[in-house]
Amino acid sequence: MARPLELHDDRLFPADAAVRGIARELYGAVAAMPVISPHGHTDPTWFSLNEPFGNATELLLAPDHYLYRMLYSQGIGLERLGVPSRAGLSAADPREAWRIFAANQHLFRGTPSALWLAYVFSKVFGFEVALEPETADLYFDTINEKLASDAFRPRALFDRFNIELLATTEGPHETLRHHHAIRESGWKGRVVTAYRPDAVIDAEHESFGEALETFAGLTGQDVHDWAGYLEAHRIRRAAFIDAGATSTDHGHPSAATADLAPAEAEALFDAIISGGVTPERAELFRAQMLTEMARMSLDDGLVMQIHPGSFRNHNRLLFDAYGRDKGADIPRPTEYVRALKPLLDAHGNDPRLSIILFTLDETAYSRELAPLAGHYPCLKLGPSWWFHDSPEGMRRFREQTTETAGFYNTVGFNDDTRAFLSIPARHDLARRVDCSFLARLVSEHRMSLSEAAETAVDLAYRLPRAAYRLDAPALSPQTLTA
């Protein structure tokens, strides 16, 4: 007999009955609030075309590196799991890939993926039995049948999930045509973009040269000239703002910033463009460009997000065969105090600038990040991210940052995911963890229940709206000079 699918109403709430009761009350006030998803990596073509998703493997397994990296760690090759490679779409049979996934559900015990999956299987698809080898085909066929219906098309799910805003992430060398198509379709769902310029800033990026050529074509600028290169960024930022963007995003290896004299910055750029790329020059150029992006944000109002500290594509064999973002990005120590000082010396006291800091290095929370955000007007702390987007990671974040930075130098939660169906699951988890943390403060008489209730709403809804300036859109240069 199949095991029942477990999704307890009190999951993630405190074990102590009295504190659990407070958490329930707080959660009850925010559980049904709209979802603000201001940073993520879902595909805008889902919403522009609104075509049915293909099958369970294609939607739930093949795009989700949280899932297939765990299977890969146990010796299961990506070629068996439906994951596309550089050669093209996978030749794996989707049903067989799903069976492999079902047979290895035990690998996810105790992980946030288990919680997200249980939510999706129960709340989205209505399953009452657990996924295991005996139910693999039942799951696969039921999910595929539902995906073929109009109720499971991307826009219908967007509305069902009560998503108020969803941001995707594109580079300045991408056309944004799908965002324009969404707007022109008349659909009321708010799907916007975010400006991720890494491919034309990181000289060590494998697509740097090709991306620069496309960048030039889209802007009509000589991007091999320093002035033309900076103007090209301004032009594309304005185009992103026209497509709804309120933020930029920077996934650099470190948090390093620089503020070189104009002649020094130009000479550095010329050296890189002429082929003189060294690790030291590439790092200094990335550092300089964070400060250049901050200056542009002072002009156009885009909020900066800095996501440093990942050794990306650590598995060279996997990268060569499958490309980027295949579960082989590994956190490394990240320093912020010295790294950010050049940018903060230049612009850190200007309240018009807004920078949201993320980290994969939890040792920096209380030592560096909370003190920095608790002082500089331009800084806010992004939520626990990526490997720490988990119940324990969220608790550690609140415990190590709240006493110094408070709640109001943070920005609520963003899901940062490619897995569309997991978005409500991730936000539900975050709301439960935050309500549990607030309940503890109430039970210890460190906060009143009314204060906790207001804070819970702020964390779930108001803070991300404010931090990402969703009510005060950024301004294009044309608007500023009009």
pLDDT tens per residue, range 36-88: 999 999 999 999 999 999 999 999 999 999 999 999 999 999 999 999 999 99
| Res 331 pLDDT > 60 | yes
Cα(144)–Cα(99) distance, integer angstroms: 14
Residue the block writes with tokens 């899932």: 67
Confidence (pLDDT) at 471: 84
SS3 54: coil
Q: Read off the pLDDT band of 479 (50, 70, 90).
A: very low
What integer is the mean pLDDT of 187-209? 97
Q: Please, is 262 exposed, middle or buried when counting C-beta atoms within 10 Å of its C-beta (0-12, 13-18, 19+)?
A: exposed
Query: What secondary structure letter does DSSP report for 4?
Result: B
| Res 476 pLDDT > 70 | no
What integer is the mean pLDDT of 288-310? 98
Q: Read off the pLDDT band of 480 (50, 70, 90).
A: very low
C-beta of residue 130 within 8 angstroms of C-beta of residue 4:
yes
Strands 163-167 and 35-37: parallel
3-state SS track over 86-106: CCECCCCCHHHHHHHHHHCHH
Q: Read off the pLDDT band of 472 (50, 70, 90).
A: low
| Res 125 pLDDT > 70 | yes
DSSP E strand stretches across 162-318: 163-167, 191-192, 247-250, 303-306, 310-311
pLDDT tens per residue, range 201-234: 999 999 999 999 999 999 999 999 999 999 999 9
Domain 54-151, CATH number (from 1.10.2020.10, 3.30.200.20, 3.40.50.10490, 3.40.50.300) = 1.10.2020.10
| Res 475 pLDDT > 80 | no
For CATH 3.20.20.140, the residue range(s) in the chain are: 155-481
pLDDT tens per residue, range 416-453: 999 999 999 999 999 999 999 999 999 999 999 999 99
C-beta of residue 247 within 8 angstroms of C-beta of residue 167:
yes
According to CATH, what is the number of the domain 155-481?
A: 3.20.20.140
SS3 36: strand
For CATH 1.10.2020.10, the residue range(s) in the chain are: 54-151
For the chain, give the percent of residues with pLDDT over 70. 98
| Res 23 pLDDT > 50 | yes
What integer is the mean pLDDT of 462-472? 93
Alpha-carbon distance values, 23 to 114, 178, 442, 462 (Å): 22, 41, 9, 19
For the chain, give the percent of residues with pLDDT over 90. 97
